[in-house]
């Protein structure tokens, strides 16, 4: 019984570490600090093609998704982690500010993490209207 709890605790720690590394990478604008697998799959509302056209591959993410986003990043705050029942992944609630603006996106990013602690799938959930249609609430 103790061994199962130790294994579960270790896996939760590994999942949290992967999600925290992602958000720390955003905050530091350090793509290489994010533990992406080489064949990572990303779905994001602001990625070319949106969530229905995932970006595949670490270098594709660097070139297509990260390059334009990097300069727009502001302060990042992790709020809470939610673990998948089977411990295959974690969903993390956070806020991500857009630099030089009052915009703070509330995000819920879902990560599937392999047994080596690398992110193999990521799906970003947030309302993109503050970025795509500033002033929409007015």
Rounded to two decimals, what is the model's pTM? 0.91
- State the chain's maximal CA–CA distance in angstroms: 56
Q: Are strands 119-125 and 36-43 parallel, antiparallel or unpaired?
A: parallel
List C-alpha distances in Å: 93 to 56, 63, 77, 83, 124: 23, 25, 9, 11, 10
CATH code of the domain occupying 2-132: 3.10.450.50
Model pLDDT, residue 2: 56
Model pLDDT, residue 1: 46
Q: What is the DSSP string of 33-69?
A: GS-EEEEEEEE-TTSTTGGGS-EESHHHIIIIIIHHH
Model pLDDT, residue 3: 66
Q: What is the pLDDT along the chain (138 residues), one digit of tens a residue?
A: 456 768 999 999 999 999 999 999 999 999 999 999 999 999 998 888 888 999 999 999 999 999 888 888 999 999 999 999 999 999 999 999 999 888 899 999 999 999 999 999 999 998 888 877 776 566
Q: Are the beta carbons of 129 and 54 closer than 8 angstroms?
A: no
Contacts of 66 (CB under 8 A, 6+ apart): 31
CB atoms closer than 10 angstroms to residue 50:
12
């Amino acid at each position: 019984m103790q061994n199962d709890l130790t294994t579960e605790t270790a896996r939760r720690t590994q999942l949290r570490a992967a999600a925290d590394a992602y958000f720390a990478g955003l905050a530091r604008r350090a793509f290489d600090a994010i533990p992406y697998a080489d064949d990572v799959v990303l779905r994001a509302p602001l990625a070319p093609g949106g969530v229905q056209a995932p970006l595949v591959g670490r270098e594709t993410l660097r070139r297509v998704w990260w390059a334009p986003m990097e300069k727009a990043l502001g302060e990042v705050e992790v709020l809470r982690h939610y673990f998948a029942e089977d411990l295959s992944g974690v969903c993390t609630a956070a806020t991500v500010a857009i630099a030089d603006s009052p915009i703070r996106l509330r995000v819920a990013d879902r990560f599937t993490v392999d047994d080596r602690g690398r992110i193999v799938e990521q799906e970003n959930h947030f309302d993109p209207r503050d970025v795509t249609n500033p002033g929409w609430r007015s």
